[in-house]
A and B are shown apart, each in its own frame.
Chain A
């Protein structure tokens, strides 16, 4: 990344707990309002379930729970951001999504060690833009499959 000339990175900004996060525009399919979610049993807490996204059954993750924040009621501004990663299509529930901006590459700094209390590997870096601090998400780490399935087998 270092030898790239100064390019802007187009990102979608969303809010979680008054902090601003950013994901690359290329990875976002659409932004949806909250709609009925069908719970899928025996999965991790942060997997809220699945929705019917224009005929495609799409899993939904509550990013608040995924990031260890306090779970809150959905509000009018709550949104589901549909992101694509490899062959996966996943929806992320966020408090609000309202901005698309360009981040110049040179404003991006590596994630400061102190930011996360514990080991947060899903942050790619931090960008400071005017007075805003944007946290760049590493979707691949957010969507790692290791933590999804809490398998339990039940005696029949």
Chain B
């Protein structure tokens, strides 16, 4: 079967199920008794097995099959959950993940999983006796059969059975096993039914008659028969049909059945009641899953195309507005206004369509933390708040790696070893809190730990030895500035280099990535209380607020996120330091950058102006004043790339199309500040 067209779906869904497995396994480690979790795991493993078998990835199917067996065992209390067992299960899921990744990268999905299979087998067979017991139960126990094979009876069936037993008929439950090599199962079924019809009346069969006729069953089926005959007689008559291996005829009591049914229902109710409060405690994670309304998968490229088309519409709308103003026709103006409103709504919808919950990034952290904590011999718990916070997909894609880095950093340098923590009078278990929330046009992500905090003295010493700053300079720094030092390149405070962090190429990369996304990062810390890294990110990268400025006849856009303020200054206030013009801006010396000169704008009007329009921009702590000819105003624009051909243009981060259809360049003020 050609499965390539389903490959993407397979990989997407497998990844989802694997994530679910990870998540539930973590939960299971915390609450080994919770049957609900087991059910979830079982379900995920089962789906994965089915999918991979269909796609022909036998290794995945085999491995998931083993997992399924184990969880089936746990589900029926045949296997007890133990910590070392969970490790093996994690390992198995890791292997599955690796295979799926391999498939995603075009591999054939083959992997040597034999060692893990042996472990899994051990877990499974560790409780062999009970599994055997289960097999016996299947064969003999009456009640088991009743409940398991004939699952439900409707009101009508129950009343018939009741009536018949009152009239002195016998109710039998008959299960028939056909022999393995039976070729015409449908025909045998028909013959069995023919025999039974002569003996009495078949009330119900499991699977249904239709399914039986279509041979939609394994090798056995079960019926409820109302008859006057003795069970031995029925049995022997059925056995006369050839290719039948075994026939079990049992008395079936309708009273017992209804009683059991009732018990079961009430038991379920009790269970549900019990579980409800527990479920609520689960940080609302599981509720998020269940409230998912109807969704469809849409290729992100299509959304991008939609967005592009919409942007064109916005540009045309701008033109229409202009034309309707010029024509001054009432009807036209009304129509254009309506269109403006509708397209505004449309813009909101399209933008929210591209938003995805940050959970997509967060959900891999619990597992990562578990692993790292093990490697470092630390006890760490993660607390995730606001995982449902939504961000534009483009931001989500970029923000993962910086967060991983910060968490590793917090695990490695922040959280202390259990004995150290004890000595400091803190609980042995460290906590890392990951919080995301919206505020204005930004999303904030905060990573805080209750670890050692930041040792300012150590930071300063290190910064001086690594020549990040001079010792004279060091004394003038504020706390905030000292913390910021750890994000300078070539800085690392770890005493020993570890695999995790401490290569000194960590936090500066984080900082750069965040800043390139138009965001910022700040650090706050208290010694022995912990530290907090706050990341501020724009909601979306494709639409940004800019300040439009004019240089002679050219229009440029400066991202609002980097602007501190704009001011108009008299040229007498310009001072010269070493031949560079600077101004005194709120007590700080700020260098001026004449954009017209930097961008070599053709001079059309030469007259010297008395007053200068200056846009004060910042990059971290440093500031610069961009001198422009005039300020036009603030506007929301759609960020476009200049294309591959002009990818490295100095101080230009992209372009945007203005309402009149012209292109304005977006200034990358970070490049202008050294």
Interface centre among B593, B599, B646, B655 (most CB of A within 10 A): B646
Residue in A41, A55, A151, A152 whose beta carbon sits within 8 Å of that of B601 in the complex = A41
A151 in contact with B648 (CB, 8 Å): yes
Q: How far is the CA of A52 from the CA of B640 in the complex (A)?
A: 10
Taking a contact as CB atoms under 8 Å apart, the answer to whether A52 and B599 are in contact is no
Q: Is B662's CB under 8 angstroms from A50's CB?
A: no
Given A54-B312, A56-B640, A154-B598, are A38 and B663 also a contact pair (CB < 8 Å)?
yes
At the interface, yes or no: A77 with Cβ under 8 Å from chain B?
no
Indicate if A88 sits at the interface (CB-CB under 8 A).
yes
* B637 → A minimal CB distance (Å): 12
| Cβ of A120 under 8 Å from chain B | no
B554/A39 in contact, CB under 8 A: yes
Within 8 Å of chain B (Cβ to Cβ): is A42? yes
Task: Identify the closest chain B residue to A58 (Cβ).
Answer: B643
Assess the A88–B663 pair: CB atoms within 8 A.
no
Contact with B along A83-102 (1 / 0, CB 8 A): 00011111000000000000
CB within 8 Å for A155 and B652 given contacts A55-B312, A143-B645? no
CB-CB under 8 A from A27, the residues of chain B are none
Partner of B672, one of A36, A59, A156: A156
Q: How far is the CB of B542 from chain A (nearest CB, A)?
A: 13
Minimal Cβ-Cβ distance residue in B for A86: B644
Q: Are B650 and A57 in contact (CB under 8 A)?
A: no
A132 interfacial contact with B, CB 8 Å: no
- B contact residues, total (Cβ < 8 Å): 39
The size of the chain A interface, using a CB distance under 8 A, is 33
| Contact of A22 with B by CB under 8 A | no
Cβ of B644: which chain A residues have Cβ within 8 Å of it? 86-88
Pairwise interchain contact A57-B580, C-beta atoms closer than 8 A? no
Question: Does residue A131 face the partner (Cβ distance < 8 Å to B)?
Answer: no
- Interface: A70 (CB within 8 A): no
Interchain CB contact (< 8 A) of B650 among A38, A50, A145, A152 = A152
CB pair B554 A38 closer than 8 Å: yes
Instruction: Let me know if A57 and B663 touch, CB within 8 A.
Output: yes
Cα–Cα distance between A55 and B639 once the two chains are bound (Å) = 11
Given the complex of chains A and B, what is the CA–CA distance between A41 and B672 in angstroms? 14
Answer whether residue B651 sits at the interface, using C-beta atoms and an 8 A cutoff: yes
Q: Does A135 contact B (CB under 8 A)?
A: no
* Residues A41 and B599 in contact in the complex (CB < 8 Å), given A90-B645, A149-B650, A154-B672: yes
Which of B554, B580, B662 touches A155 (beta carbons < 8 Å)? B580
Contact status of A55 and B311, CB under 8 A, knowing A38-B655, A41-B600, A155-B674:
yes
**Quick one: which of A57, A88, A149, A156 contacts B648, CB cutoff 8 A?**
A149
Please tell me if B620 contacts chain A, counting CB pairs below 8 Å: no
Which of B580, B601, B655, B673 gathers the greatest number of chain A CB atoms within 10 Å? B655
Whether B312 lies near A156 (C-beta < 8 A) is no
Chain A neighbourhood of B622, CB < 8 A: 156
Q: Which residue of B lies closest to A87 (CB)?
A: B644
Asked if B344 is at the interface (CB within 8 A of a chain A CB), the reply is no
What CA separation (Å) do A143 and B622 show in the bound complex? 38
B624 close to chain A: CB less than 8 A: yes
* CB contact list, A84-133 vs B, under 8 A: 86-90
Asked whether, in the complex, the Cβ of A59 is within 8 Å of the Cβ of B652, the reply is no
Contact of B663 among A42, A52, A90, A152 (CB under 8 A): A52
Q: Is A156 a contact of B593 with CB atoms below 8 Å?
A: yes
Asked whether any CB of chain A lies closer than 8 Å to the CB of B641, the reply is yes
Q: Is the CB of B657 within 8 A of A52?
A: yes
Interface residues of B in 628-674 (CB under 8 A from A): 640-646, 648-652, 654-655, 657, 661-665, 671-674
Question: Contact mask A7-46 → B, CB, 8 Å, 1/0?
Answer: 0000000000000000000000000000010111111000
User: Are B652 and A40 touching (Cβ within 8 A)?
Assistant: yes
Asked if A148 is at the interface of the complex by the 8 Å CB criterion, the answer is: yes
Q: Is B453 engaged at the interface, CB distance under 8 Å to the other chain? A: no
A86 to B645, CA, bound (A): 11
- Tell me if B591 is interfacial: C-beta within 8 Å of chain A: yes
Task: Give bound CA distance, A48 to B662, whole Å.
Answer: 15
Decide if B308 is an interface residue (CB 8 Å cutoff).
yes
Name the CB-closest residue of A to B646: A59
A36 to B655, CA, bound (A): 15
| Dominant secondary structure at the B interface | mixed
Question: Complex: how many Å from CA A36 to CA B652?
Answer: 19
- Complex Cα–Cα for A156 and B583 (A): 12
In the complex the two chains form, what is the Cα distance from A155 to B598 in whole Å?
Answer: 10
Q: Would you give the shortest CB distance from B93 to chain A, in whole angstroms?
A: 38
Contacts of B663 in A (CB 8 A): 38, 49-52, 57
**Is the CB–CB distance between B640 and A154 below 8 Å?**
no
Q: Residue on A with the closest CB to B656?
A: A57
Is residue B315 contacting chain A, with contact meaning CB distance below 8 A? yes
Of all chain B residues, the one with the shortest Cβ separation from A61 is B645
| Cβ of A47 under 8 Å from chain B | yes
- The answer to whether B308 and A55 touch across the interface, beta carbons within 8 angstroms, is yes
Residue-wise, chain A 55-70 has the 8 Å CB interface mask toward B (1 for contact) of: 1111100000000000
Asked if B646 and A43 make an inter-chain contact with CB atoms under 8 angstroms apart, the answer reads yes
- Is the pair B642, A55 in contact by a Cβ cutoff of 8 Å? no
Residue pair A42, B655 in contact (C-beta under 8 Å): no
Distance in angstroms from A129 CB to nearest chain B CB is 31
B311 / chain A contacts, CB cutoff of 8 Å: 55
* B580:A50 contact, CB within 8 angstroms: no
B646: contacting residue among A56, A148, A152, A156, CB under 8 A: A148
In the complex, chain B residues whose CB is within 8 Å of the CB of A59: 642-643, 645-646
* Contacts of B308-333 to chain A: CB distance below 8 A: 308-309, 311-312, 315
For residue A119, give the distance in angstroms from its CB to the closest CB of chain B: 22
- Closest-by-CB residue of A relative to B597 is A154
Q: What's the minimum C-beta distance from A85 to chain B, rounded to whole angstroms?
A: 9
Q: Given the complex of chains A and B, what is the CA–CA distance between A50 and B644 in angstroms?
A: 12
Interface centre among B315, B641, B650, B657 (most CB of A within 10 A): B650
* Complex Cα gap A58–B554 (Å): 17
A153 within 8 A of B: yes
Across the interface, do B643 and A40 meet the contact criterion of CB distance under 8 Å?
A: no
Which residue among B593, B645, B652 has the maximum number of chain A CB atoms within 10 Å of its CB? B645
> Which residues from chain A contact B673 at a C-beta distance below 8 Å?
156
Task: Give chain B nearest CB distance to A55 CB in angstroms.
Answer: 4
B315 touches A40 (CB 8 A): no
Q: Which residues of A contact B312 (CB under 8 A)?
A: 54-55
Bound-complex Cα distance A40 to B674 (A): 22
Given A52-B663, A155-B674: A57 touches B645 (CB 8 Å cut-off): no
Instruction: Give bound CA distance, A154 to B610, whole Å.
Output: 25
Known: A52-B663, A56-B643. 16 other contacts (CB 8 A): A38-B662, A39-B601, A42-B599, A43-B646, A50-B663, A50-B665, A51-B663, A57-B642, A57-B643, A59-B642, A86-B644, A88-B643, A143-B645, A151-B650, A153-B674, A156-B593
Closest 8 CB pairs of A and B: A41-B599, A38-B663, A55-B312, A42-B650, A156-B624, A57-B655, A156-B673, A57-B640
Q: List 18 A-B contacts (CB under 8 A).
A: A38-B663, A38-B664, A38-B665, A42-B600, A47-B646, A50-B642, A52-B315, A55-B311, A55-B312, A57-B642, A57-B655, A58-B643, A59-B642, A88-B643, A89-B645, A145-B645, A149-B648, A149-B649
